Structure 1
């Protein structure tokens, strides 16, 4: 899989409310080729593009996401918190987001969000049928912090393009997970990155994806070890990105 050097975090979350259709259009308008989005299910089983387990941070409502039906979620304004210009923005379903991504020619890194108390099957059952045929495989990457999610996806689809997400430091046994799951990429929090482990990933033939990178100057030295991609709230802050657009 040929991942781009820059991936927009939750769409283009520096310019539009995160994980919304507006953020997808903003990314495409800015020339960002790929976006990262989060998917989880409402209480009625509808997969939606949303990061938190609750709705209070990014909407005008309160409560847990899994306690809402789609009809109730549609009542929420998920744009005004970011800027009054986005007043009236509604929570996007996975299907709606995929339609925009396909229409705008974007690639998608879809992160499966799973509460540690939940079983992975209901989320996977809801998401995979919608993904089938929605995007070509070279423009789709499925990632998660949950090995339970990744294991089950791999069991169902031997060729699914997977990305393993690690929080904080890359664990010593990362290769055990990689050999079992055969991922396209390893995703790491760049603030905790260990150079020796990072080189192991690259030398192992996997893409090294760093999140969430918003300080080009501090990150600059990491490019030299062979980082494949960075996930950023604002790729336009990087000279490398703007030069690529100009060329």
Structure 2
């Protein structure tokens, strides 16, 4: 009885609906996205449009501008300066972040997956620091075999990586499925933090919402290769056409 209960709570990430859901987050490098994103804070709203098919300043354009918030502008500027800003829409390191096994609680409409974030090659210094202190939760639709959201929460105040005390930290990523190729993508995220340092309180709250997105492959050849590979895989899994590897 206890063994059955343990097996129900602990699951290997490379099996069942979870493996399918993780595979859907692992988009090929040749898949790109043109998108429009709305950034919001308590004081401002910004809307930007990005298209990797354009060049120069036309790749990242201001669509709407309301209010004043220097930090929100810095968030946007850092995003725009990345070599491939659309890379943020592809959570392709989620499998590495979850690790080999996770704790699963069936909530009926979704699986609640508790895990300790495992730093990956894409993580920075803060991500590594946060992985040791934040509680991580993923929500998965076991029927549709897709992730719905990923949450990170600070359970108690801790000393910050650069001094002071981090009293609150909540970060969420929301995922949707694009209809043509069935890949999962980040449709939005939110960050809320509070910290105390040098007799002052620091608060940060902002969110991003992808309001429009167009997925496409870098070339017709890349799209055909992806579609051909997706067609072949189910045949190999049956065992009728030889070993898959």
Same topology, TM > 0.5: no
Q: The TM-score by the shorter chain falls in which range?
A: under 0.3
Question: Which protein is richer in helix relative to its size?
Answer: 1
Q: Which has the higher strand share?
A: 2
Q: Which structure has the greater CA radius of gyration?
A: 2
For normalisation by structure 1, the TM-score amounts to 0.23
What's the TM-score once normalised by structure 2's chain length? 0.23
